[in-house]
Structure 1
Amino acid sequence: MSEDVRQQVLHLAEENGNAPAGGEFVVARYDSGYGPELIWQAEKTGAICSASPGVISRGCVPLADIAVRPNPGVGIFLGASLRNGQWSVMLMASGETVEQISCQGRNFPVRKGYSVTVDGVPRIVYTASVPRDLQGQYWVEARREGAPAEDRLALEMDRAPVQC
């Protein structure tokens, strides 16, 4: 991401009242080539926000909405974008870390993008890229308190010919 685009995204966030706290943000990337995406905590509201050059303002999620997410658990954070036949998805894990997701015996890596603690629970935003035609309930390989754990994740962005 060029410095000009980064400044454009951050300027728009400031105009919308969602400037990053302390001017700090994280650059998140996807295996599909989508993005990169900036993720930050808004200075005024504390909400977690994201934007990219292609989607200048994906949006912000208030801390109150994050606090009520299942703990432990993992779900879609701010939606998905389609690129090169793959969904580029933002996930948020609560009270666990995600190592990979899988469907029909195929493993898909995740990339850690941003972490924040809300109501004493660690919340971690990840990026993942999955084929457009492979949707449904994914298995999540996770760790909770250092021990291996499994979780389920619904990825159903549109109708797909193959279901997990």
Structure 2
Amino acid sequence: MRQIQQLAEENGNAPAGGEFTVAKYDSGYGPELIWQAEKTGAICSASPKVISRGCDPSADIAARRNPGVGTFLGGSLHNGQWSVMLMASGETINQISCQGRNIPARKSYSVDVGGVLRTVYTVSIPRDLQGEYRVAVQRDGAPAEDRVALIVDRDPVEC
């Protein structure tokens, strides 16, 4: 983890207050670190396996659909599952589903960007079940549905 912190500092993306949040996946991938860069406000992620995953600039995060759900910084294949991060803007994810299979979403990190609460979740999706997932969310205290495309390396299935 020290190597990640050192690289973040060298790249000008040192975490605000020196604090990282540890994100875990149901697939066993990780741990992955998430933080907000002190100087730029970007949201960054890295793991010992993927040290330079990267950062999403705060202006790009602020421009995301609100309310809405989207992918965040790609995915990693581990134990036959894609370990993917989702970012919810102005809503809370309860679970995602495709073809009748419910996939849990783990809340990992929350921060205000552009006056909207942005929350990063981890999900582990089967490699053979990539497509546009249904996302059960809470929006303004009421249940709602959103959709997110989780297509990493194959032709999508219909969810």
Give the whole-Å Cα distance in 2 for the aligned partners of 1:41 and 1:123: 11
Matched residue, 1:126: 121
Match of 1:31 among 13, 26, 32: 26
SS of residue paired to 1:134: coil
Change over 3 Å in CA distance of 1:161–1:60 after alignment to 2: closer
1:3 is matched with which residue? none
1:99 pairs with 71, 94, 98, which one?
Answer: 94
Relative to the length of structure 2, the TM-score reads: 0.97
Residue identity opposite 1:81 in structure 2: S
**Per-residue Cα deviation, 1:5-40 (whole angstroms, up to 9, x for no partner):** x11111111111111011011000000011110000
1 CA distance for matches of 2:153 and 2:6?
33
Q: How many residues align?
A: 159
The answer to whether 1:77 aligns with 2:72 is yes
Deviation at 1:163, TM superposition (A): 3.8
Q: Please state whether the residue corresponding to 1:76 is helix, strand or coil.
A: strand
CA distance in 1, matches of 2:67, 2:31: 27
- Structure 1 gap ranges (5+): 1-5
Q: Deviations over 1:31-63 (max 9, x none)?
A: 001111000011111110000000002100111
Asked whether 1:40 is paired with 2:10, we answer: no
Structure 1 runs of 4+ aligned residues shifted over 4 Å read none
Do the aligned residues in 2 keep the contact of 1:134 with 1:160 (CA within 8 Å)? Answer: no
The answer to whether the 8 Å contact 1:133/1:160 transfers is: no
The AA in structure 2 aligned to 1:154 is A
Tell me, what secondary structure is at the counterpart of 1:45?
coil
- Partner Cα separation in structure 1 for residue 51 and residue 113 of structure 2: 26
User: Structure 2: where are the runs of 5+ without partners?
Assistant: none
CA apart distance, 1:144? 0.5
